[in-house]
Amino acid sequence: MGPTLGSSGASDLFQLLRDGSPRTRAELAMTTGLARSTVALRVEELMSLGLISPVGDAQSTGGRPSSQFALNPSAKVVLAADLGATHATIAVTNLSGTIIGEFSGPIDIADGPEAVLDWMIETGRTLLRERSLSTADVIGIGIGLPGPVEYSSGRPVNPPIMPGWDHFDVPGFVRQHLEVPVLVDNDVNIMALGEQAFAWPQIDNLIFVKVATGIGAGVISGGRLLRGAQGVAGDIGHVQIARGAGIACQCGNHGCLEALASGPAIAHSLAGLGLEVETNSSVIELVRRGNMDAIQAIRQAGRDIGEVLTACVSLMNPSVIAVGGSMAAVGEHLIAGVREVIYTRSMPLATTHLTIVQSAAGKNAAVIGASILAIHHALSPEGIDRMAL
């Protein structure tokens, strides 16, 4: 990674203003080390792009008051898509990641990339039209997919539940219709970004755990999403747990976390007790009705997840663990199991300031994260230079 080499001073300034805090020209000059005259020119440039606006006057220190400038979040919009196996959400957001229009509906990811992405683009255009916006207002598109993605190319890699998508050039296809940067990542990574943006903007070390049909994590460390060597960082669903001995997993191994603590695994164990459960939502319904077996099973799933997360806490030293995904909708029972194990087993220094909570962004974590992914890219120094052309 390393420092940005771009030379556009306008984007240097903009990096400062992106946080939304208003600053004067003098403050910008002091922080960047640029000459006052240079700052003045560059502020003009960003104003002409519409990306920053004057926001009232700074407290006077004697003499005439100085104008302050800040990000103008409604200058442009991004399109954000959360494409799941059977359900999708498409949203239009402003430059702060706030949703200003949204559509959710059933899809079948197995229809293949052309059909699904065509639908996504059409839905996006409709959302824009409904808000009197056009594609010219869009500065980027963020897409979350339910499988591993090579982030640098935006191509899915051996996605198990996405027939026809393997190595498909998602950004290339979308850009045939909308000539803007297209960022693609897996659903859990964008949920981590969304959760952070929505609920923990000041937190640099966060693990988001999705518990649904599968189990996975998105890891933000030192303010950055970790992707790892093959882009599969956070794939904790197939770590073996103590209780798992002999229990077969779909992956071909035994004792995986997912084989014991995912929605289908819990449903399967409850069915074995004679309860009528087939789906994740029937498990949640049982828990809501106060069924003791279901509550016990969910609590134990939380402990299993906590067992794997204990090693993650030691390795990463996060300050927040947020648990989301459809199975987190059972309320505190799942989280209680996670907390029980992590707080019992971890070193005091690592847990003194550790918060373990249910996802606050909830169902919107993914679209917000997809939006953030696109915004970060579009408003990077390179992105600004591109816009200024």
Residue 319 Cβ vs its own copies, minimum distance, rounded to whole Å: 4
Figure out which of the listed residues 25, 238, 303, 377 binds its own copies, where binding follows CB under 8 A: 238
Taking the least distance from each CB to its own copies, the nearer of 143 and 384 is 384
Contact between 247 and its own copies by CB under 8 A: the answer reads no
241 and 215 Cβ atoms separated by less than 8 Å: no
Taking the least distance from each CB to its own copies, the nearer of 102 and 166 is 166
Figure out which of the listed residues 46, 71, 239, 305 binds its own copies, where binding follows CB under 8 A: 239
Which are the contacts of 197, defined by CB distance < 8 A and separation ≥ 6? 97, 361, 368, 369, 372
Tokens of 343: 């707080």
Figure out which of the listed residues 189, 240, 262, 269 binds its own copies, where binding follows CB under 8 A: 240
Cβ–Cβ contacts within 10 Å for residue 204, how many?
14
Figure out which of the listed residues 10, 34, 92, 342 binds its own copies, where binding follows CB under 8 A: 34
Contact between 381 and its own copies by CB under 8 A: the answer reads yes
Tokens of 144: 């979350």
Q: List the x/- string, 199-228, binding to its own copies by CB under 8 A.
A: -----xx-----------x-x-xxxx-xxx
For 131, list phi and psi in degrees, rounded to 5: -105, 20
Contact between 235 and its own copies by CB under 8 A: the answer reads yes
Q: How far apart are the first and last CA of the chain?
A: 25
Taking the least distance from each CB to its own copies, the nearer of 279 and 314 is 314
Taking the least distance from each CB to its own copies, the nearer of 81 and 256 is 256
Query: Considering only residues 102-161, where is the footprint of its own copies by CB under 8 A?
Result: 148, 157-158
Taking the least distance from each CB to its own copies, the nearer of 91 and 305 is 305
Within 78-164, residue ranges assigned H as helices are 113-130
Residue 144 is given by DSSP the state E
User: How far apart are alpha carbons 267 and 259 in whole angstroms?
Assistant: 11
User: How far apart are alpha carbons 323 and 344 in whole angstroms?
Assistant: 18
Of 12-20, 176-184, 264-272, 331-339, which part binds its own copies (CB under 8 A)?
A: 12-20
Residue 7 is given by DSSP the state -
Q: Strand order in 67-71's β-sheet? A: 23-24, 67-71, 52-57
**Of all helices (H) and strands (E), which one includes residue 71?**
strand 67-71
Contact between 167 and its own copies by CB under 8 A: the answer reads no
Binding site residues, its own copies, CB under 8 A: 1-9, 12, 15-16, 31-34, 148, 157-158, 204-205, 217, 219, 221-224, 226-236, 238-240, 242, 251, 253, 308, 310-312, 314-319, 345-347, 349-350, 352-354, 380-381, 385
